[in-house]
Amino acid sequence: MVQHVEEDGAVWATEQSGGRKHQRIVTLSADYVAEHTHLSYASTAYGVQGTTVHESHTLLGDALSAAGVYVGMTRGRAMNQLHIVAADLDEARDQFTAALERDPADRGLAEASRAAEDAVRGLTDDGPAALVNTERARLAALIEHADRQAQTWEQAAAALDQQRQTHRVEQEKQQAVVAAAHAHAEQASTDITAPLIAQATEDGTAYLAVQARVWEASTASRGVGRLSRRATQRSLAGAAEEHRAVEAVVRKRWGNLPLSRTDVHMWAPAAAQAQAAAHPWVIEAHQEVERARTEQAHLIRRHFDERAQLRQRVLGQLPPGTVGARAAEWHELADQARRQLDEIQTLPVGQAARLVRKRAERAARSVEQSRNPWQPSPPRPAPDDGQRLGL
């Protein structure tokens, strides 16, 4: 069955035998059609002479002659059927008798022209076959376009997903760099601070011990007689001198002094940490942490810009969550068109034409309903989708 005729004369035809559920569609070149085929959808008796078919259906009309009845009633292998539109059997018998007595050569040019028009009715530009072929071509084009759009949106979704995965890997890698730098800085600080805490504890304890001896010597000098006063004064002077020397060393080394033996356990770590912070190893380790964090901030900014650029290129003003929905809509549109095309191809041309007209009427009503802003509408082909995505 002819489905479509190309401009160069090539024919798309559907297989009408073979027992398959879905018949094949083949393309016949113009040369092959000219040499090996002839039109058999509906023709005159002269057009089917020499043709043998499985079933033959002949419609009796005023233009059919005895020769036409003979040809039509002898083409079928399994069945030959004559169709007569009549009020009763007697009228049908009269029409059949008249046909057997009719000579087409005597009917004139006007009758011959009318018969020719009747023979090709349905195959003209405005006939059912043309309507069905146009609808088939439209659905085929729609399927191709919808498949292409669905593929484009799937590629867009894949590009966005690939970017997310790449960004995640880069972020995790940089986060590991920051964590490693931070751990190295903590370890360097610990390695430098631990011995400094021990030294500060020792120095602070020594200072407090000397300070205690000065207080003891001072107290002792106030309670002695004149004979022992000189000795106690010398002892106090020696303790004070030692106190000044130890105080100078501790203040120079740690910057300040502990207040008491209880305070030395808090003073020593603080003094050690302050001194460790100025150590070159600790400074370098903390600088490495800052460099890693700066690179992480740059990476976050670059990822933000790359996401914005890709989304602008593939989505325009659409939100990112619509990519999958758009692909699904185009897939649904393609599947719907395929179902409609399959349904048309399984029907005779007349029935297929009626179905096409009904669909057109429903589409017209749907357009009216879609003017309601709350009425959802199916996706329409958007020629700029593929151009905007550019994938």
pLDDT at position 51: 65
Count Cβ atoms below 10 Å from residue 70 Cβ, excluding itself: 13
Helix H or strand E encompassing 360:
helix 349-370
pLDDT at position 224: 58
pLDDT tens per residue across span 1-22: 788 888 888 888 887 766 666 6
| pTM greater than 0.75 | no
pLDDT tens per residue across span 20-46: 666 777 888 988 888 887 666 555 555
pLDDT at position 119: 45
Please choose, from the candidates 271, 297, 112, the residue with its C-alpha nearest in 3D space to the C-alpha of residue 199. 271
CA angle, 109 then 111 then 114, to 5°:
110
List the structure tokens of 104. Answer: 């087409």
Instruction: Between 369 and 193, name the one with better pLDDT.
Output: 193
pLDDT at position 173: 95
pLDDT at position 69: 82
Q: Dihedral (C-alpha) 119, 125, 128, 132: value to the nearest 10 degrees?
A: 140
pLDDT tens per residue across span 261-272: 888 889 999 999
Instruction: Between 273 and 115, name the one with better pLDDT.
Output: 273
Q: What is the mean pLDDT of the chain?
A: 80
- In terms of Cβ atoms closer than 10 Å to its own Cβ (0-12, 13-18, 19+), residue 354 is middle
Q: Are 385 and 373 in contact (CB under 8 A)?
A: no
When pLDDT is cut at 50, 70 and 90, the band that residue 114 belongs to is low
pLDDT at position 144: 93
Taking residues 173-190, what's their average pLDDT? 93
The secondary structure of 126-145 as a DSSP string is TSHHHHHHHHHHHHHHHHHH
Which residue is it, tokens 């003094």? 271
Is residue 372 over pLDDT 60?
Answer: no
Q: Dihedral (C-alpha) 13, 16, 17, 19: value to the nearest 10 degrees?
A: 110
Q: What percent of the chain has pLDDT over 70?
A: 80
pLDDT at position 169: 96
The backbone region for 111, taken as left when phi is positive above 0, alpha when psi lies in -120 to 50, beta otherwise, is alpha
Q: Dihedral (C-alpha) 383, 384, 390, 391: value to the nearest 10 degrees?
A: -50
Maximum CA pair distance of the chain?
A: 177
Tell me the HSE value of 165 on the side-chain side, using a 13 A CA sphere.
6
The secondary structure of 338-356 as a DSSP string is HHHHHHHHTS-HHHHHHHH
